[in-house]
Amino acid sequence: MRPMRCAPSRLFLESRPSLHCFNVAMPSLNCLSALGLALLLSACAQTPPRPAEQAGDVQDPALAAVFGGCRDVKPQPETLAGARSFTYARAAGRSLRVHVFEPAPQPGAAQPGLRPAVLFFFGGGWRAGRVESFERQARAFVQSGYVALLADYRVKCRDGSTPLDSLEDAVAAYAWLRDQALQLGVDRDRIVLAGGSAGGHLALATAQKAVLRGEQPAALWLLNPAVDLVGPAPWYLKPVALSISPSQLPVWDLPPTLIQHGEADVVVPIASVQAFCERARARDRVCELQRYPGLGHSFYHRRTPEPALQGRSAYEDTLARAFDFLAVHGLPGADQGWR
């Protein structure tokens, strides 16, 4: 089959106070779904936000994730205790680090074979967020025999970046892991991509791009993921959103996907992930949506007992059910010691 060729068009989008320009080359819109994640857009230049924007005057919760103001955002750590840390890319004048947690060698045990791995992307609306936010979940995976990785990526308030840059970094982190798999003792055919909120978007969109190269991960674990960037985007950003929105990208070879979502989430409405799963199932893909009544955005980090979860915390419940899902699809389940 000959590759599809799409004539590029020039897109000029009106400026707004926090976005100086969008002057980018991109495929014509009727080619976007065929190209998947053809990341041909250049990042726009950033200008300082208005004083009102610094105070967080964006009221819509979905738009606030991207266009809300920036407060103090600390640099990401160069290292994390108990992890080996590597630079997988350089951007915005700094190193982008990935922190690798590995099972401890057992005295007298035979040399282990290649292990499964899970690569986490933190949330924060592509604006902020901490690379260590999934460290507790990562350590639970290590106890169950996985190599677990936490990837940093560029965000608006730290690097003056856009969601396009964040996705570019996520794609690079996954490519780095596949390239370094043997050195890390990782089976590249058993890699799980995981993330919450904006990190869920990055995990999913990275997988959708990888499908086009035949390098899809073994499974996806997504928590309150942003799957529809087109619906909430203002009109002048819809063409950009189309190019990176999982709702518009291929699902024809999507790996087994688990989505855990709070029904009370007002940042990412559960209807959007319901529609995504229905679309994936229509192509005979596995997309399991586990609903959490009464819980909102980022509920999965909560460690207090939830009456609706028979006294388990949301952290415990989401993790246990994720291990169950992975076990069904040929990956290791939980070592109960992680609790």
Identify whether 65 is part of a domain: no
Q: Which of 224, 206, 312 is nearest to 266 (CA)?
A: 224
Confidence at residue 110, expressed as pLDDT on a 0 to 100 scale: 64
113 domain residue, yes or no: yes
| Nearest C-alpha neighbor of 170 from the set 156, 151, 145 | 151
In-domain check, residue 8: no
- SS3 sequence of 26-60: EECHHHHHHHCCCCCCCCCCECCCCHHHHCCCCCC
| Average pLDDT score over the chain | 81
Nearest Cα neighbor of 225 from 243, 206, 211 is 206
Residue 282 lies in a domain: yes
What mean pLDDT is predicted for residues 113-117? 96
Query: Per residue, what are the HEC states of the chain?
Result: CCCCCCCEEEEEECCECCECCEEEEEECHHHHHHHCCCCCCCCCCECCCCHHHHCCCCCCHHHHHHHCCCCCCCCCCCCCCCCEEEEEEEECCEEEEEEEECCCCCCCCCCCCCEEEEEEECCCCCCCCCHHHHHHHHHHHHHCCCEEEEECCCCHHHHCCCHHHHHHHHHHHHHHHHHCHHHHCEEEEEEEEEEECHHHHHHHHHHHHHHCCCCCCCEEEEECCCCCCCCCCCHHHHHHHHHHCHHHCCCCCCCCEEEEEECCCCCCCHHHHHHHHHHHHHCCCCEEEEEECCCCCCHHHCCCECHHHCCCEHHHHHHHHHHHHHHHCCCCCCCHHHC
Closest CA relative to residue 138, chosen from 103, 173, 175, 87: 103
Of 27-31, 92-96, 332-336, give the lowest mean pLDDT range: 27-31
Domain region containing 168: 71-338
What is the model's pLDDT at position 71?
73
Domain assignment present for residue 150? The answer is yes
Q: What is the pLDDT of residue 109?
A: 65
Question: Given a cut of 60, is residue 276 above it in pLDDT?
Answer: yes
CATH of the domain at 261: 3.40.50.1820
More confident residue, 206 or 58: 206
Total number of domains in the chain? 1
- Categorize the per-residue pLDDT at 117 as very low, low, confident or very high, splitting at 50, 70 and 90: very high
The whole-number average pLDDT for the span 199-203 is 98
- pLDDT (tens digit, 9 = 90+) per residue, 210-248? 988 899 999 999 999 999 988 767 777 778 888 899 999
On whether residue 30 sits in a domain, the answer given is no
Q: What pLDDT is stored for residue 107 in this prediction?
A: 73
- Asked whether the whole model's pTM tops 0.85, one would answer no
**CA-based diameter of the chain, in Å?**
65
Q: How far is CA 195 from CA 15, 201, 225, in A?
A: 31, 8, 8
Say which range, 15-24, 93-102, 232-241, 312-321, has the weakest mean pLDDT: 15-24
pLDDT digits (tens, 9 = 90+) for 19-66: 333 333 333 323 222 222 222 232 333 333 333 333 334 445 555 555
**Assigned domain for 316 exists:** yes
Q: What is the average per-residue pLDDT within 197-217?
A: 95
Residue 299's pLDDT is: 95
Higher pLDDT, 4 or 58: 58
Q: Count the neighbouring beta carbons within 10 Å of the beta carbon of residue 5.
A: 7
* Burial per residue of 111-149, b for 16 or more beta-carbon CB atoms within 10 angstroms, e otherwise: eeeebbbbbbbbbbbbbbbbbbbbbebbebbbbbebbbb
